[in-house]
Structure 1
C-alpha cells in the first residue's frame, strides 16, 4: 500500500457536496452562507475506475509537484500529489497536456486549472485505454526545487499474476466501468499508477531497442522465459504481466537512447512517470534511465542438411525491393548462406515489385529477385533459380504500389522444379493424378483459389511442385492477412477484439481444403505449407490449417521455450510456420533466431527451416 493520508469523513462530505453542485474550484464559494468547497486533489480526478468521475468538467487550483516534462510528441508534464489518500485504486499522478513545450520544471510545485478529459491514444476505434489528463491548462508555479514524490516500485512482488478482469458483458466487454482491483489484476495495478512517479530495478530486456527509441523489459525474470532470454507468449492467457515499455523523457538528440537486445539487462534504477501510449500501453517514461549491460546473444546458425535430406525454409524479407540499400541485400544473402545453410528450397515473403512502393502499375519483381539471388552467389551460396506469379496491381495488400508476393528460390544442383502450364494471377491451380495415381498440380507454379473472397486484398498462396532424388514434394508458400486492426492486450475490451482472425480463418480453410485435395489424390503426398501465417501455433488459424490431420504445425515439435519467430511488445511469439502432411516424417525443425531479438535487424521475422527425407 502507498503511504496514505486519509481525509476525515466531514471533509469527504464537503467534496461530495462540491462535486454535486459543480463547485470544483478550491477558490469557489458555494451559495451565500455555505462553506468553501474542499480543494480537488489528483486522486479525486483519477477516481477508482479507468474513467475520471470529473470527465468533461473544469477543475481549478489542482496542486502537485512536477515529476516529468515532455517537450516532444504529446507535449506536457506530469504532476503528483505528495499527500496520497488511503485508496490504492486511485492514482496520485496525472498528465497535463499543454500542446506546446511546457514552461515548468521537475520539482516545481504547481497549481493547475483546466479541463479534465480522457484521451484515447490511437482514437476510440483502436480499443485502447484512455489517459486521464488536464488540458487547456492555466498553470501557476508556487515554488521550485521541491523533492519529487517518492517513486512507487514496480516489481515481481507487487504486479499481480492475473492479467485483466473479464469485461462487462453489458458494456461490450469493456473494463472501463469496473472498479479497479490493483492487488488482483496487472492492468488494474498499472492503471492505479497512471501518471505517477514509478521505478523499476534491474530488469531483463525482452524487446530490443527499436527505431523509435523504445525497449521492453520484464520485472518478472522468471515469467514464461524463452530459451534465449525473451518472454514467451504461449497462449491467449499468457499475456506476461511483468512486461513494461521503456522510453525516456530526454529527446534523443540530447541524450541517445541505449541500444539493447533481448537478454540484455537494464541495470540500476529506472524512474519516471507511468504513461499509456498507442504503441505499447503502459510505459515508464524515464527521467532517470538505467544502464544497459549487454548479454552474449548471437544470431543462430542452423545445421546443414545431409546429402539425402531436403531442406525447405521460409523467410519474410520485409518489403525487399531494388531501392533498398545494397547492404540489406548483402545481409539477407549472408543469412541465407551462413545462418540457413543454403536451403534447397526457400519460400520468400514480401518480395516487392521492381520499383518498390512507387505506385505506377509496375508488378514485375524480376529485378528484385535477380539482385537478391546475385547477392546470395556473392556470399558464397548457390545460384538459385526462382518461380513466382506476379500479382494484379494493388490487389494483394501490403504497401500501396509495392505489390508484395511470395517467391520460390531453389537450388537446381539439388532439386528440380516441375513446370506445369504456369498459372497467372487469376487462374487457380488444381489437383490431378499422373503416373498411375500420383498427385500433380494442374498449374505449377500456380495460385490456390485466387478468386476466393478470403484472399481479397491479401497475398494468394503460391503452390509449386518440386522433385528431390526422384520424390515429388509440394510446397505452398503463404502470407496470410496481417493482424492490423486487432486490439492490443491492454485494450479496454477483455478479452481484446481480434477482428483480423476472421479473414485468416477463411484463408486457412482454403489452404487446408487444397491440401486435402492433394491427399485425396495421393494419401502419401509430401506436402509442406510454409510462410508468414501471421498467427500463433495455438490459434484458430493453425487449428483450421491442421483440420482433419491434413497438416501439422511443425514448430510444435520444438520445446515450448524455443517456439517463436517474432517479438512484439516484449512477447516472443509464433507468426512464421512450416506445416507438414502426414507423409513428412522424422523431420528436424529450426526457428533460426537472427532478427527478432536484435536491435539491428534485416527483417523483423526469423526464418524457419525444416529438413526431412522424402
Structure 2
C-alpha cells in the first residue's frame, strides 16, 4: 500500500480550506454506486423522505449511504462541531443511537458558507444525502457521507454534546482493512462494516461521530498546514525516537489519526510538535474524512503538547582511510530561496553529515528557480550553496553535473531539478571524461583491465522512456587513495497517482510503481555492465529512490546480486528517511556493489521528524574503505 504521495505545494495555510469542488466527485461516486447495484434508482418514495429518518439510517452499514442522492427531512440531532472556514459546515449527532456498531450516529452537514448554528444547538435538518470523495473519484479515496443544500432549524440551544466515543489502543482493531471485493474492482464500498475486526471499518463506523483520545504520542510533526499525527497505540511499530515505522505493505500502523483544530488559527495558534512529543490531556471533536490524511479528529477541544526534547542527529566523522558518500534531497533549492535556507542546509552538511567526501544532491533547481524562461544552468545555485558550506566551516566543494533539457525532467515547471555531485578535492578526485550532456548516454569500457565510463559525468540511458518527464541518473567516476569508485545519483519518479492507505480499493493501487520499476531495471542493467567489465568494481547507487526497502523497485535494483540495499543493515526500527501521515518510512537509499563488503550506514535524522525543516528528507551516509 502506498504511504507517500507527491510533495505537491498546498496553497492554503488553513488545513480545512483544501477542498476541491464537490459536484464532479459526488456524481462519480453515485454513478459507481449505481453501477455496482449499491443504490436504488427511481423517484424518492414517502418512505425515503419520512420524518423518521435518523442519522444512522443515513450512514447505513457500508461506506455508501443507502439514501445517497435522495432528499431527507426532519433529521434531528445536536451540533458537535462547527467549521467556519475551508469546507464550511457542521456536524450533527443523533442522541438516540441504535444498537448496531456499524452505523455512525454523526454526519457532516455541508453549508458552503459560514454556519449559523453553534455547538450544543439541537437542530432539525432537511437536505440531500450525498457521497463526497475528497480529491475526486480518480484519487481512489473513500467518500464522506454528508447532507448538502440543507434547510436547518434550531429548536433549542445549550444542550450537552453527546458523550464521545473513546478511541484507544484497545478499541482499534489490529487488522487494517478487509480485502476489496474482486467483483467490484477491489473496492470495499459495498462490504458491510466490521468495526470489531478492521481498523478502517472501525473509523468508518465513527464517521461524523464525536470522539475523544487521551494522551497520545506524536508520530507526524506539525506541518505548514497546521495538522499533526498521533497514534493511540504507543507500542505499534514504535522506534527509539518516537515514530511509528512503516515496515511492510501490511504494517499500516492502525493507531494513527490526523489531528486538526476547529478553532481558526487567527484565534488560537496550532501547537508545534515534533515526533516523539505527546499530545497530552483530552482531544475531542468530530471524526472527519479528508483528502490529505483520511480519518481526522477535528478538535473542538485540543490537548497540550508536551515536548520530549527530540534532537537532530549527527553522524560520525569518516576515518582517514574511509570514503564517506552521502545523499541529500535539498527540496527545490535555487538562488531565490532565502539565505537562511542555504545556511541551514550548509550547516547540516558540515555538522550533521561531518562533511562527506562525496555528496549527491537531489532537487537542485536552475539559476532562477521556478521562473519558466528556458534557463537550465544551475551554477549560481551551486555556488551559493558551496559558499555557504565554506562559511559554515566546511570544505571548498567542487561540483559536477549535467544540465537537463528544459522542462524535460519533471518537478516544478521551470525549475529543471537535477542531481549534482559535490566532492571534496582535498580527499577525492573526479575523473572528467568529456561528451556527456542531457541526451548522450554514458557507457562502460575496459581501460587497462578495469572498468571506466565513456562520459564522466554522464547520464544513464537518457533516451529510455522510463525517464520521460523524470530525472535521469547521473554517473560519475571518482578516485580515492588510488581506487576508482563509480557513483550513480538518482531521483526516481514520485508516488503521484498512487492511492492512499485509506483508499476504497484494498489493497490500494500503486500505479506509480510501474515507472520506478523500469527505472530500477535500467540502473541495475548499467551496474551489471560495470561489473561484467570488472567484477570487483566499487559501485555506489544512491539518491531519492522514492520507494521502500521492501518494494519491487528495490528488488529490481538489487536483482542478480548486483547491488545490496545498505539500509537493511540497520535494525528494522531505524529504517526510515521520511515521515508521511505518521508513518516513518524509507524513500532515500544507498546501495552498494558486492565488493563493498564492510561499511557503516547512517540515516541521519535531522528533518523528517521535526516541525521546523530545511528539507522534508533525512540525508543518508555510507562510510567504507574502497
Structure-2 separation of matches of 1:48 and 1:159? 18
Counterpart in the other structure of 2:295: 282
Would you say 1:25 and 2:45 are equivalent positions? no
Counterpart in the other structure of 1:511: 523
Relative contact order: is structure 1 or structure 2 higher (C-alpha 8 Å, sep ≥ 6)?
Answer: 2
Q: What is the total number of aligned residue pairs between the two structures?
A: 585
Counterpart in the other structure of 1:11: none
Cα contact 1:24–1:60 (8 A) shared by 2: no
**TM-score with structure 1 length normalisation?**
0.95
1:21 Cα deviation from its structure 2 partner: 3.3
Would you say 1:367 and 2:380 are equivalent positions? yes
Structure-2 separation of matches of 1:174 and 1:53? 17
Would you say 1:476 and 2:500 are equivalent positions? no
Would you say 1:592 and 2:611 are equivalent positions? no
Question: RMSD of aligned C-alpha atoms?
Answer: 0.9
**TM-score with structure 2 length normalisation?**
0.93
* Deviations 1:58-117, CA, capped at 9 Å, x for gaps: 000100100000011100000100110000000000000000000000000000000000
Q: Identify the match of residue 61 of structure 1 among 55, 74, 77.
A: 74
Would you say 1:565 and 2:589 are equivalent positions? no
Would you say 1:330 and 2:343 are equivalent positions? yes
Q: Identify the match of residue 220 of structure 1 among 202, 225, 233.
A: 233
Q: Secondary structure at the match of 2:558?
A: helix
Counterpart in the other structure of 1:6: none
Q: Secondary structure at the match of 1:21?
A: coil
Q: What are structure 2's unaligned runs of at least 5 residues?
A: 1-39
Would you say 1:447 and 2:471 are equivalent positions? no
1:403 Cα deviation from its structure 2 partner: 0.1
Would you say 1:74 and 2:87 are equivalent positions? yes
Structure-2 separation of matches of 1:313 and 1:21? 67
Structure-1 separation of matches of 2:482 and 2:46? 84
Q: Secondary structure at the match of 1:135?
A: strand
Counterpart in the other structure of 2:155: 142
* Deviations 1:419-476, CA, capped at 9 Å, x for gaps: 01140000000000111x1000000000000000000000000000000000000000
Counterpart in the other structure of 1:190: 203
* Deviations 1:491-547, CA, capped at 9 Å, x for gaps: 000000000000000000000000000000000000000000000000000000000
Matches within 5 A, 1:526-545: 526-545=538-557
Counterpart in the other structure of 1:102: 115
1:208 Cα deviation from its structure 2 partner: 0.1
Counterpart in the other structure of 2:10: none
Matches within 5 A, 1:388-427: 388-427=401-440
1:369 Cα deviation from its structure 2 partner: 0.3
Which of structure 1's runs of 4+ aligned residues deviate more than 2 A? 19-27
* Deviations 1:289-339, CA, capped at 9 Å, x for gaps: 000000121000000000000000000000000000000000000000000
1:26 Cα deviation from its structure 2 partner: 4.0
Counterpart in the other structure of 1:612: 624
Would you say 1:459 and 2:463 are equivalent positions? no
1:585 Cα deviation from its structure 2 partner: 1.6
Would you say 1:162 and 2:175 are equivalent positions? yes
Structure-2 separation of matches of 1:484 and 1:327? 30
Structure-1 separation of matches of 2:452 and 2:85? 60
Q: Identify the match of residue 376 of structure 1 among 389, 393, 396.
A: 389
Cα contact 1:248–1:286 (8 A) shared by 2: yes
Would you say 1:602 and 2:614 are equivalent positions? yes
Q: Secondary structure at the match of 1:499?
A: coil
